């Protein structure tokens, strides 16, 4: 099932709706919806499903069928350890970049902002959005993969499948820290430029990195350090609006 704003036709990610009511459309602010459902042989709706798993209010897992040719999952075990996996073709180049920006915009608008749908930009800006209430105000987003280690993506490309088990939250936090360090290199983004940028860590294919336990561990260990780097903000963008969280 897909949803669009009934007023302006913008696509809506329904996973970002609060428990009661609906989040406003990021383009026009309307809460009206138009839904469409595709049926195959009368039993299958659409071609993609995603499921978030919670226990006592804690987000402990996420799984989805192939999205653009790549399926993913991530879970926190009862032992506290984490496992995650990918199956399919790795995303190519900037394939996911604008979708990550869009998820971040939906999350910000859920908190009361009024940013427009992001558009591609150039240089160190991957996504650009403007405020409908303050036309001169812009949001500049730089995206980096939450796991910058090329070995994971090379393995996925060669075998079509990656499975990791018995990982700790500190292991995954180390991935996030490494990704931030990659962009905080003075040769890539000078400190004088960072104050204009929101850094978005792309965990849209790595849901275990966006679970509550990973976010809490990062904040405990590195929030002060991350905040000292000079970015306007650093966000972790998961596969859904509800798994998108500000790190500092």
Mean pLDDT of 157-184: 95
- The pLDDT assigned to 41 comes to 42
Bridge partners (DSSP) listed for residue 162: 86
pLDDT digits (tens, 9 = 90+) for 88-116: 999 887 889 999 999 999 999 999 999 99
Q: What is the largest CA-CA distance in the chain?
A: 57
- pTM, two decimals, is 0.80
Read off the pLDDT of each residue in 244-248 and give the average, rounded to a whole number: 96
pLDDT value, residue 122: 82
Is residue 204 exposed (0-12), middle (13-18) or buried (19+ Cβ within 10 Å)?
Answer: buried
* pLDDT value, residue 38: 40
User: Is residue 46 very low, low, confident or very high in pLDDT (cuts 50, 70, 90)?
Assistant: low
Q: Is the pLDDT assigned to residue 62 strictly greater than 90?
A: yes
- Beta-bridged to residue 144, according to DSSP, are 201
Mean pLDDT score, 63-67: 95
Torsion over CA: 67, 239, 145, 148 (sign) = negative
pLDDT band at 235 (very low <50, low <70, confident <90, very high): very high
Q: State the average pLDDT over residues 6-11.
A: 74
Provide the pLDDT for residue 4. 74
Q: What is the mean pLDDT of residues 74-92?
A: 94
Question: Can you give the pLDDT at residue 92?
Answer: 86
Overall average pLDDT of the 231-235 stretch:
97
CA distances from 145 to 44, 54, 73, 192, 195 (A): 32, 25, 17, 22, 20
């Amino acid at each position: 099932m897909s949803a669009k704003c009934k007023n302006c036709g913008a696509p809506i990610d329904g996973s970002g709706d609060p428990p009661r009511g609906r989040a406003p459309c990021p383009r026009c602010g309307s809460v009206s919806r138009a839904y469409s459902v595709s049926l195959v042989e009368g039993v299958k709706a659409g071609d993609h499903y995603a499921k978030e798993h919670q226990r006592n209010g804690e987000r402990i897992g996420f799984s989805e069928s192939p999205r653009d040719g790549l399926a993913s999952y991530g879970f926190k075990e009862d032992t506290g350890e984490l496992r995650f996996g990918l199956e399919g073709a790795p995303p190519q180049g900037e394939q996911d970049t604008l979708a990550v920006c869009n998820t971040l915009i939906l999350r910000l608008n859920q908190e009361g902002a009024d940013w427009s749908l992001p558009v591609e930009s150039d240089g160190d800006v991957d996504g650009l959005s403007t405020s409908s209430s303050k036309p001169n105000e812009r949001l500049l987003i730089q995206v980096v993969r939450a796991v910058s280690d090329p070995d994971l993506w090379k393995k996925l490309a060669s075998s079509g499948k990656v499975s990791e088990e018995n990982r700790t939250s500190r292991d995954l936090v180390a991935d996030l820290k490494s990704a931030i360090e990659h962009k905080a290199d003075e040769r890539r983004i000078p400190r004088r430029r960072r104050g204009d940028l929101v850094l978005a860590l792309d965990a849209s294919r790595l849901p275990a990195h966006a679970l509550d336990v990973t976010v809490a561990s990062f904040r405990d260990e590195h929030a002060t350090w991350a905040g000292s780097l000079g970015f306007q903000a650093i966000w972790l963008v998961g596969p859904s609006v509800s798994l998108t969280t500000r790190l500092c």
